[in-house]
Amino acid sequence: MLGNHNHGSLHSQHAFGSFQGRTREGLTLTNRRGMLKAGLAGVAGLSLPGLLKAQAGSGAKSGKSVILLWMAGGPSHIDTWDPKPDRPYMNRGPFGVTQTKLPGTILCERLPKQAAMLDQFTIIRSVDCKHSNHEPNMVMQTANLTNEPRVNKEAEKYPALASVVAKHHGANHPSMPPYVAFMKSRSHLAFAGYLGKQYDPFLANQATRLPVYDSVGKDTGQMSQAGAFQLPLGLSLNRLSERRSLVGSFDRLRRDLDQGGSLAAMDSYQQQAVDMVIGRRAQAAFDIEQEPAETRAKFGNHLWCQQALIARRLVESGVAFVTIDLSYHTASGTWDTHGDNIPPYGGIKNGLGPLLPLFDHLITTLVGDLSERGLLDNTLVIAMGEFGRTPQMGTQDSTDGRNHWPNIMSMCLAGGGFRHGQVIGASEPDGGTIRERPVTPGDLAATIFHHFGVPLDVQYLDNRGRPIFVLANSGQPLRELV
C-alpha cells in the first residue's frame, strides 16, 4: 500500500515587489500574488505576454477541447465497465449488472444512467497499462512508458499530454489559459516538465468558490475562496489600467523606431495579459453563480459535479484542456479500493459502491449538457484512472478489496465528433488480461492529438537540447473512432 507523499509547493515563493520579470513561472498560481504577477505581465513586460505570443504563433486553433475526468487511484474495471456476472463471487464482485442501450452490452448496475445513453459513449475494455503506477500518476497522462519517477530521475520532466496541447494548439480564446486543472494532490497530475512552466496547468482550485470536502468525502460546510482574481490591498483596477496606459504612452514614443510592427503586436499581447485579470471572460467562466439555477440544480451540489459544470463553462469560454482530479484525499487516490481495513480507501462494496452513482450522474449530466449546448462534437470527454484492479477480491486481508492491476483496465470516452456507441477490445473471462485489441497509452495520446490537430511526430527538447518524440513508444489514433 502506498502512503501519502509530501511534494511541497509547486513553485518556490517569489518576491512580488521585485517581480522577477524574466522568470518564466507560467500560469500555475499558488497564491494571490502569483495571480497578480501573471495579470500584470502585460504592463510589466513579464512572462504572460510572451506566452500569449507563443500561443498565437502555434497555428490556427481548431476550437476543440478535452475534459479529462481523472479517477485517481485506479477504478476496478470488473466493477464498472467490464462486469463478469457469470464468474464466482470472489472474481465478479458484489454488484449486479444492467442492460444498456447497446444490445448485448452490460455495465455495472450502479451505472444505470450511463447504460441508458451508452450509444453516446465508447467503452474500451482492453487498455494496456503495464507500465503505469501512481503517486505520481504519470504514464497514462504522458504516454511515456518510462515515466516512473521511483526508478527514473528524468520522469517528472516528461510533459503531460495536456501541456503538449497547450504548446502546440493553445487556448481557443486568447484571454483564457489553454490548460486548467482542479488538483487535489500534486502527485495526481503530470505537468509540463521539459516544455517549461508556462505550459503547466492553471490551477483552478483558487479561482472559484466551491465546497470544501475532507479526505473521506465529507462536506465540511466551508467554501473555498476565489482569491486568484483578487488584487492585493492598495492596487485597484483603476491603478492597473492607469499603469497600462502609461506603458502604452512610452510605447507610442518608440513605435516609429520599430519597422517590423513588433511593438504594435506586443501591445495586443499586453492587452490580453491584462484582460486575464481585469477582463471579465476568465472570471466569469470560473464563477458558477453566473450559471442559471436550473443548470446548477441539474448538476447538483457535490464538489465534483460543480467542478464538472465549471469545466463545461471553461471549454465554452476557450480553454482547450481541463482535468478534474476526482479524489478526496491526497494520497494514492479515492478510487484506490484496497479494502475496508485500509481507510480511507475502502473496498469494493463500501469504498467503490458510493462513488459509482455519483460518477454516473456526473458524467451523464456533463455529456448531456455539452450536447444540449452544441459543444459535444468539439469536446472529447475522457474518464479513466491509471490501471485496473485484481480479478480476485480479498487482497491485503480485506473482505472485498482489490489491489493494483496494471495488466488491463477499462475507460470510457464521449463526444469529440468521434464514432461512439461501441465497445473496443475485450478481456479474458476473468478480466485478468487482454483478450483482443490492446490499446496503449500511445494510442490514447495519438487520438487526443488527432482531435486537436497536433502532429503525431511532435517533439520536445530535453535539458541537453536532444529531441524527444512525445509518442516515442508509438501510437495511432483509434481507428474505431476516427
Residue 218 pLDDT: 94
Q: Tell me, yes or no, whether 1 lies in a domain.
A: no
- Taking the C-alpha atoms of residue 472 and residue 433, their distance in angstroms, rounded to an integer, is 24
Residue 190, in any domain of the structure: yes
- pLDDT of 409: 98
Residues of the chain short of pLDDT 50, as ranges, are 1-46, 59, 250, 253, 257, 259-266, 278
pLDDT of residue 344: 78
Q: What is the residue range of 359's domain?
A: 58-226+287-379+389-469
The owner of cell 516544455 is 195
At 427, which helix (H) or strand (E)? strand 426-427
DSSP, collapsed to helix, strand or coil, labels residue 405 as strand
* pLDDT single digits (tens) 265-278: 445 555 555 555 54
**478535452: which residue's cell?**
66
Residue 365, domain member (yes or no): yes
- Name the nearest CA neighbour of 441 among 53, 44, 142, 24: 142
Question: Looking at the domain assignment, is residue 100 inside a domain?
Answer: yes
Residue 244: what pLDDT? Answer: 54
In sequence order, which ranges of 413-470 are alpha helices (DSSP H)?
A: 441-452
For residue 20, the model assigns a pLDDT of: 38
Total domains in the fold of the chain? 1
CATH code, 168? 3.40.720
Tell me the β-bridge partners of 98. Answer: 107
Each residue's pLDDT tens digit, 168-179: 999 999 889 999
DSSP string, 41-79: HHHHT-HHHHHHHHHHTT------EEEEEE-TT---STT
Structural domain includes residue 298: yes
Q: Is 322 part of any domain?
A: yes
CA distances from 321 to 6, 127, 242 (A): 26, 22, 33
Alpha-carbon distance of 355 to 363, in angstroms, equals 12
Q: Which residues of 50-89 are buried (b: 16+ CB within 10 A; e: fewer)?
A: bbbbbbeebeebeebbbbbbbbbbbbbbbbbbbbbeeeee
C-alpha cell of residue 190: 503530470
**Residue 355 included in any domain:** yes
Q: Is residue 49 part of a domain?
A: no
